[in-house]
């Protein structure tokens, strides 16, 4: 498959879109009406308990929004990379990161 500038742009656009979605998840506590129903901590804890389901949901949203055209698939692939890194990297490792930051603060 030839990666044209258009495909690379779509890949980056998909990654940027899902990076914004993950940033919005971290701002749930600041949204006036939404903070009454859920919090960032609750959402991240749910994601940590349901990693596979989280990826299935995000992929379903990706394909519903962008379809199966070549352009949509490249957009979806960029989002898939970000979602995979967030679910299995950041969300899984945030307790470890909390321990490290607490040790640094104590020193």
Higher pLDDT, 35 or 11: 11
Token match 């470890």: residue? 96
Record the pTM.
Answer: 0.82
27 secondary structure, DSSP code:
T
Domain tally, the chain: 1
Domain that holds residue 85: 5-106
Q: How far apart are CA 19 and CA 39, in angstroms?
A: 19
Q: CA 41 to CA 36: how far, in whole Å?
A: 13
Rounded Cα–Cα distance for residues 3 and 54 (Å): 28
Angle at 83 between CA 71 and CA 14, to 5 degrees: 25
pLDDT per position as a tens digit, 2-15: 778 888 999 999 99
Side-chain half-sphere of 99: how many Cα atoms within 13 Å?
Answer: 3
62-96 confidence digits (pLDDT tens):
889 888 888 888 899 999 999 999 999 998 888 88
């Amino acid at each position: 498959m030839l990666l044209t500038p258009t495909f690379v742009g779509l890949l980056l656009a998909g990654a940027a879109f899902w990076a914004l979605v993950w940033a919005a998840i971290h701002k749930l506590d600041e949204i006036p009406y939404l903070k009454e129903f859920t919090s960032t901590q609750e959402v991240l804890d749910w994601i940590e308990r349901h990693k596979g389901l989280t990826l299935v949901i995000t992929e379903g949203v990706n394909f519903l929004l962008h379809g199966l055209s070549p352009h949509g698939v490249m957009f979806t692939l960029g989002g898939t990379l970000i979602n995979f890194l967030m679910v299995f990297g950041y969300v899984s490792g945030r307790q470890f990161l909390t321990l490290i930051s607490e040790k640094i603060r104590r020193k």
